[in-house]
Structure 1
Amino acid sequence: MTSTLAFAERDIFWPPADELMQAAERIRARLGDWPRAPVPWRICLTAPDAPRAGDLIVVADDNDHPASFAGWLAHGAGVVEAKAGGVSLMLAGQRYAFEGTLAEDWLAALAAFLDCGFEAPDALVLAMAWRDGDDARSDDAWPVDLARFPRLVGLPPVPAEPFASCPARLGLYAVVPSAAWVERVLTLGVQTVQLRMKDAPPAQLAEEIARSVEAGRRHGARVFINDHWREAIAAGAYGVHLGQEDLETLAPAELTAIAASGLRLGLSTHGYYEMLRALHFRPSYLAFGAVFATTTKTLATAPQGLARLARYVRLVEGVVPLVAIGGIDLTTLPGVLATGVGSAAVVRAVTEAQDPQAAVTALHAAFERRPSSG
């Protein structure tokens, strides 16, 4: 075990628990090299006298501390309730609830995944997917069997049928700001395009979407519309792309309307919790990012990197197509494709290129050079 994996002299559990610490170190050593967590997480088996941000206070179902929760949360701590058949996490004004079985080492696994730099909800998802003895079965013990992952509790109903499917590998996926750009990249041979227009008067927006969809028909290409699903339905678009925040505002009847129209649905995800949430809606594809730092939008999470992308690919392979997005250009694309992901979305690599035609040609060439089994 390298020194970067050692928990010695680190405040991982409170009160100190040698057996849990040893199990956490053993698990952590089988997870690979990851940057150390930016947050000094501490798993509290009993409530500390002075709760602080970074504390996760574990409460078993035979304890009754609801009156104390508010005070702990007010100090920035999180509360993990472990009950028969599931776990919930209260943190930063949010509640995350899961159903699933727990390994004996799940708290040690939670510490290990937190140490790999994952946010608490994602680390908890991974800890619940952990099984006793995983660390002894392989040099790479990372959970990649979706059947072992927990189920999210309290999600809204979904349409009776899954959203329409799209190809397993969407290839080069250009995200552009106008119908003129849609037409331009389609002429250059791009087959998957997203129109992303955030601010436009309704009449202009409808016109841009209709123009983009018509261009897609002429070129036999897949045109997704970002956010504006009503206009996408009206124009007969191939699909629509939505963010996690959209899932919070859409009514079940609206989701049913999108599915009934035949639109494909792409959903943004930024980690394991959001992935499980998105899969509940049975979308046509998932987008994962931001893989690298990007200036095209404000990031709620730090760049994910290639190591996380590779794990994500392994988890959803054969379940749903995956699109990598965020800061991808000609320099970084080969590394992205080496993870096995079937599609990579680019923005500035095309729209800010001095020669968009040369840029698209080079990006397509990178896809052609990837191993056929990748």
Structure 2
Amino acid sequence: METLKLSGRDFFWPPADELTEAAERIRARLGDWPRADRDWRICLAAPDTAGNDDLIVVIGRAAEPDDAAAWRAAGAGLVEARTDGATLTTAAGERFVLEGTLAEDWLAALAAFLDCGFEPHDALVLALAWRDGDEAHGADAWPIDLSRFPRIAGLPAAPAQPFPVCPPRLGLYPVMPSAQWVERLLALGVETVQLRLKDATPAQLEDEIAQAVAAGRRHGAHVFVNDHWREAAQAGAYGVHLGQEDLETADLAAIAQSGMRLGLSTHGYFEMLRALHFRPSYLAFGAVFPTGTKTVATAPQGLARLERYVRLLGAHVPLVAIGGIDLARLPAVLATGVGSAALVSAITAASDLGEAVERLQQAFIA
């Protein structure tokens, strides 16, 4: 298959035949992935001219500040490898600091995962989860042993009080724009719903959340509130759902003390590890498919990635797939082993709400 061929491509600078051969050998055991959109180049020495597709690797020492600044100004990323891990610094100045084991062929693994279409920070996570010889362990050698994955350095401590557990398979998980929609879904027998409000005044926000939470109590259902954790805690919500950006500002200790469950959004391996550190009640992966209901900075994940996320984390935390999922796509999503799927337009745009919900519920039973 042409997508597995790395030889003949300028994947390493200076050219390194042995590394290229190792990368191709690893790549051939990672499954059928389309070739990456970008022609990455891993530079083991500073190139004469750095560019946007270059990752410059410095091993055993920190890069000189002037060199690092010049490479970043040219659009290149920097990987600084240590005996206990590696740090990626992007051209925009984002830093991804990972602690873990570097296999002898970690650079070859990094090239292989980049070729599978992963962004450098996620490819680096996977490269640190790789162990020498993994490519000899079957047709699909994808890393799925969580104990081998690196740790993210510099994270604040997780709340002392763990977040409460939620059902291991949340099933159909509609994400609705109002308390009225929440009530309608609960009346049809849906057991888990998220209220995601946009552009509400403080008074409207408090009232909508209170109504949705009260409806959840009447129906014995699980009502999560998106983002607004203070109002959700005040109303006694079952849970709250936060994005990665909210981890910087939300008081996770206060959320845990309130007794609410916590769901966290993730968009790749680095964000998964970051979210797991805080011991959430569930993790959401997305967007699986293109979606018009929310602006997402990352490209769609697709089913192949979702299936591997499930293999890695399915035994550790409940998982939710989200983004562009409808009735036609739902069976393929559930075939990955994920225990829940969040839907928006497939419900709000349905001409017959009752029939739509029944057919969606049946997909989880089939």
Q: Determine if the TM-score, normalized by the shorter chain, exceeds 0.5.
A: yes
Secondary structure at 1:20's aligned position in 2?
A: helix
2:118 matches 1:123:
no
Give per-residue Cα distances to partners, 1:133-187, cap 9 Å, x unaligned: 0001111100000000000001112211221110100000000000000000001
Task: Note if contact 2:83-2:102 (Cα within 8 Å) is conserved in structure 1.
Answer: no
Deviation at 1:9, TM superposition (A): 2.0
Paired residue type of 1:320: V
- 1:39 is matched with 38
Describe how 1:84-233 pairs up with structure 2 within 5 A.
84-91=83-90, 92-233=92-233
Deviation at 1:191, TM superposition (A): 0.4
- Counterpart among 328, 331, 344 of residue 331 in structure 1: 328
Paired residue type of 1:94: E
State the alpha-carbon separation in 1 of the partners of residues 248 and 26 from structure 2: 35
2:39 matches 1:23:
no
Greater Cα offset, 14-23 or 4-13: 4-13
Secondary structure at 1:360's aligned position in 2?
A: helix
2:300 matches 1:300:
no
State the alpha-carbon separation in 2 of the partners of residues 63 and 170 from structure 1: 46
- Counterpart among 299, 315, 326 of residue 312 in structure 2: 315
Segments ≥4 residues shifted beyond 6 Å: none
Secondary structure at 1:157's aligned position in 2?
A: coil
State the alpha-carbon separation in 2 of the partners of residues 13 and 65 from structure 1: 21
Deviation at 1:249, TM superposition (A): 2.2
State the alpha-carbon separation in 2 of the partners of residues 241 and 308 from structure 1: 22
State the alpha-carbon separation in 2 of the partners of residues 20 and 183 from structure 1: 58
Secondary structure at 1:155's aligned position in 2?
A: coil
Secondary structure at 1:274's aligned position in 2?
A: helix
Deviation at 1:63, TM superposition (A): 6.1
Deviation at 1:93, TM superposition (A): 1.7
Task: Note if contact 2:7-2:24 (Cα within 8 Å) is conserved in structure 1.
Answer: no
Secondary structure at 1:127's aligned position in 2?
A: helix
2:262 matches 1:265:
yes
Deviation at 1:60, TM superposition (A): 1.2
State the alpha-carbon separation in 2 of the partners of residues 237 and 317 from structure 1: 25
State the alpha-carbon separation in 2 of the partners of residues 247 and 74 from structure 1: 29
Paired residue type of 1:12: F
State the alpha-carbon separation in 2 of the partners of residues 180 and 129 from structure 1: 46
- 1:288 is matched with 285
TM-score (norm. length: structure 2): 0.99
2:360 matches 1:363:
yes
Paired residue type of 1:276: L
Deviation at 1:64, TM superposition (A): 4.6
Structure 2 spans left out of the alignment, 5+ residues: none
2:278 matches 1:278:
no
State the alpha-carbon separation in 1 of the partners of residues 299 and 58 from structure 2: 29
Paired residue type of 1:329: D
TM-score (norm. length: structure 1): 0.96
State the alpha-carbon separation in 1 of the partners of residues 364 and 56 from structure 2: 47
Greater Cα offset, 288-297 or 153-162: 153-162
- 1:242 is matched with 242
Alignment CA distance shift 1:136-1:181 (3 Å): same
Give per-residue Cα distances to partners, 1:214-236, cap 9 Å, x unaligned: 00000000000000000000000
Deviation at 1:8, TM superposition (A): 2.5
Alignment CA distance shift 1:64-1:188 (3 Å): closer
State the alpha-carbon separation in 2 of the partners of residues 6 and 71 from structure 1: 32
Deviation at 1:7, TM superposition (A): 1.2
Percent of aligned pairs with the same amino acid? 71
Secondary structure at 1:48's aligned position in 2?
A: coil
Structure 1 spans left out of the alignment, 5+ residues: 370-374
Secondary structure at 1:168's aligned position in 2?
A: coil
State the alpha-carbon separation in 2 of the partners of residues 315 and 332 from structure 1: 22
Secondary structure at 2:57's aligned position in 1?
A: strand
Secondary structure at 1:27's aligned position in 2?
A: helix
- 1:52 is matched with 51
Greater Cα offset, 125-134 or 31-40: 31-40
Paired residue type of 1:77: A
State the alpha-carbon separation in 2 of the partners of residues 43 and 35 from structure 1: 20
State the alpha-carbon separation in 2 of the partners of residues 297 and 64 from structure 1: 39
Number of paired residues?
A: 365
Task: Note if contact 2:61-2:80 (Cα within 8 Å) is conserved in structure 1.
Answer: no
